[in-house]
């Protein structure tokens, strides 16, 4: 059964685009795209690059190691070298709390 885990506050994301968090033993990149939060696995499926250290343009994050691209809304690969999607997590906001659903 899925578990809702508080990972941050809305205030902690003000003025920044991405934050690395951990929930359920997983490293997760939490993105702020125009006030909407998205969460995907933080580890690039190509060689393990930290997506939370990548460049965000719109809803596309570019891995800082080998330039692979992922959609932060779905975790889908948009450009190689990665061939495997990263996990995508449902985000909910309750007051000032940002929660991620961990399967």
CATH code where residue 89 lies: 2.102.10.10
Q: What number is the average pLDDT over the span 9-35?
A: 95
Query: What is the domain range of residue 14?
Result: 3-102
Closest listed residue to residue 69, CA positions, set 82, 88, 52, 53 = 82
Does residue 1 surpass a pLDDT of 90?
no
For the chain, how many structural domains are there in total? 1
pLDDT for 2 equals 87
Mean of all residue pLDDT scores within the chain: 96
H or E, element range at 13:
helix 10-13
Q: Which residue, chain included where needed, has tokens 């969460």?
A: 39
**pTM for this structure?**
0.95
């Amino acid at each position: 059964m899925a578990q809702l885990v508080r990972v941050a506050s809305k205030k902690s994301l003000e003025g920044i685009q991405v934050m690395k968090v951990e929930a359920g033993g997983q490293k997760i990149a939490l993105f702020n795209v125009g006030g909407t939060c998205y969460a995907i696995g933080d580890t690039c499926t190509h060689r393990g690059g930290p997506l939370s250290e990548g460049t965000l343009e719109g809803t596309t994050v570019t891995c800082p190691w080998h330039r692979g691209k992922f959609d932060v809304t779905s975790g889908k690969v948009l450009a190689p070298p990665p061939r495997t999607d990263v996990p995508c997590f449902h985000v909910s906001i309750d007051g000032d709390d940002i929660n991620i659903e961990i399967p």
